[in-house]
Homo-oligomer: A and B are copies of this chain.
Amino acid sequence: MIRELNKEDFQQFWPDFKRIIAAQNSYAYEPDMSFEQAFELWCTSPLKTLVYEKQNAYEPQNHILGTYYIKANGMGPSSHICNCGYMVAESARGQGIAKQLCLHSQSLAKELGFSAMQFNAVVSTNTAAVTLWQKLGFDIIGTIPNAYQHKTLGFVDSYVMYKKLN
Number of chain A residues close to chain B: CB under 8 A: 35
**Is A81 positioned at the interface, with any CB of B under 8 Å from its CB?**
yes
Instruction: Choose among B33, B143, B158 the residue that contacts A78 (Cβ–Cβ < 8 A).
Output: B158
Minimum CB–CB distance from A141 to chain B (whole Å) comes to: 5
Q: Tell yes or no: A5 within 8 A of B by CB.
A: no
Q: A144-B81, A146-B116, A149-B80 are in contact. Are A75 and B28 (CB under 8 A)?
A: yes
Whether B149 and A145, one on each chain, are in contact in the complex, defined by CB atoms closer than 8 angstroms, is no
Asked if A162 is an interface residue, CB under 8 A from chain B, the answer is yes
Which residues of the other chain, B, contact A147 by a CB distance below 8 angstroms? 74, 78, 81
Residue of B nearest to A72 (CB): B28
